[in-house]
Amino acid sequence: MKQLVEMVVFARVAESRGFAAAARALGMTTSAVSRSVARLEAHIGGRLLNRSTRALSLTELGSAVYDSCAAIAEKAREVESLAGHYASVPNGRLKLSAPVSFGQLCVVPMLRAFIAEFPAVEVQLDLDDRPVDLVGESYDLALRIAPQLPPGLVQRRLGSTSMMLVASRGYLARWGPVVQPDDLRAPRELIVQGTPGETELLLHGGLQRAQVRVACRLALNNDGAIVAAACEHAGIGLVRDYAARPAIRQGLLVPVLPGWTLGGNHRPLGIHAIYAPTRHLPRKVRAFIDFVSDAVASPGTWCAARPQPDALQSQAA
């Protein structure tokens, strides 16, 4: 049936709730997607979509047709995955999503080695802090750092990341060293993600436990920006370890309270690879997951690998 392609396109339009989003997912132009749906409507003999300048919805006929078209689209994806699974070497385009700071600092540095090892694979990495729709936006894989992951997806834990406190030597010279959690109180201030105000910190140091509220007049929406502000002596940065680590290695920042770990809302989180369930995981996806897993297991190659407290102490000295 020559309408099979039109059925797959219609299913993607319905799932994406728009022609432009479906076009991006399918690698087509918006006009080509619109024409494809029009051909299917002409073949079936009725309107499938209610169109307006602001919204798109299924008609009664469209709802009846969608389930069958979606099943055809799913079978097409299974065939494509099967072909990728049985290819002799990983190949094709690998579309990935990762959080902005984590992607810039940890994923991008790996890509040169990955594409060198797998020359038949092309990589498209989108950096976005929002939780992408893997199926609707045609992502093969997403890397996520979150306390909860979306249900219905396959998850593989790759490592973990912790929050840490960092400051410049100049800031600590001006306001004095921070030896105990109580030393974080005024006149010292935090730089955080979120909103200005007071931030409550729960800290664990061996058998000790401390809870302290710290002032915050500067709030930024990106780990990299927090690190940059801390390097400019603007305050004590509360930031992910992978974001702070390059500045620590360069001597621009030092860890604050290195013998203590943050808990509560700032507890460590897992780094996960997530992907849609499939009978046959494409070799390109398997190759990338294994590549990242090997990097995590190799000391010194994974930016999120947390140094031991002794090492942090020596850097802060």
The tens digit of pLDDT for each residue in 191-209 reads 999 899 999 999 999 889 9
302 located within any domain: no
Greater model confidence, 222 or 25 = 222
Distance of CA 284 to the CA centre of its chain: 19
Whether residue 283 contacts residue 227, with contact meaning beta carbons closer than 8 Å, is answered with no
- Residue 304 belongs to a domain: no
Helices 283-297 and 108-117 sit at what angle, rounded to 10 degrees?
A: 120
Kindly state whether residue 306 falls inside one of the protein's structural domains: no
Mean pLDDT of 69-93: 74
Distance CA 216, CA 86 (A): 54
Domain assignment present for 307: no
Of 1 and 114, more confident: 114
% of the chain with per-residue pLDDT over 90:
48
Closest CA to 205 of 257, 276, 252, 163: 257
**What value does the mean pLDDT take over residues 24-50?**
88
Residue 222 sits in a domain whose CATH number is 3.40.190.10
Last residue of a domain, one of 71, 86, 101: 86
Judge whether 249 lies within some domain: yes
- Domain match, 98 and 128 both: yes
* 128 in the same domain as 173: no
The reply to whether 290 and 156 lie within a common domain is yes
**Same-domain pairing of 148 and 279:** yes
For residues 82 and 9, membership in a common domain is answered with yes
pTM for this prediction:
0.66
Q: 51 and 23 in one domain? A: yes
The residue among 87 and 149 whose pLDDT is bigger is: 149
Same structural domain for residues 140 and 288?
Answer: yes
Instruction: Using pLDDT thresholds of 50, 70 and 90, give the confidence band for residue 310.
Output: very low
Last residue of a domain, one of 62, 86, 110: 86
134 half-sphere exposure, CB direction, 13 A CA radius:
21
The 10 Å Cβ neighbour count of residue 137 is 17
Tell me the C-alpha to C-alpha distance, in Å, between residue 86 and each of 15, 81, 93, 119, 223: 28, 9, 16, 17, 40
Domain count, the chain: 3
Q: In the sheet where 197-205 sits, what is the strand order? A: 254-256, 163-167, 236-240, 190-192, 208-219, 197-205, 261-262
| Residue 317 pLDDT greater than 70, yes or no | no
Residue 16 has pLDDT above 80, yes or no: yes
What range does the domain containing 244 cover?
A: 163-266
Q: Strands 269-275, 141-145: parallel, antiparallel or unpaired by DSSP? A: antiparallel
Same domain, 57 and 129: no
Read off the pLDDT band of 76 (50, 70, 90): confident
What tens digit of pLDDT does each residue of 152-165 get? 899 999 988 999 99
Predicted pLDDT at 305 = 39
Nearest to 104 by CA among 303, 279, 306: 303
pLDDT in the model for residue 81? 64
**Does a structural domain hold residue 311?**
no
CA–CA dist 91, 286 (Å, integer): 11
Largest CA distance in the chain: 78
Domain end, chosen from 57, 86, 115, is at: 86
Task: Give the confidence band of 84 by pLDDT, cuts at 50, 70, 90.
Answer: low
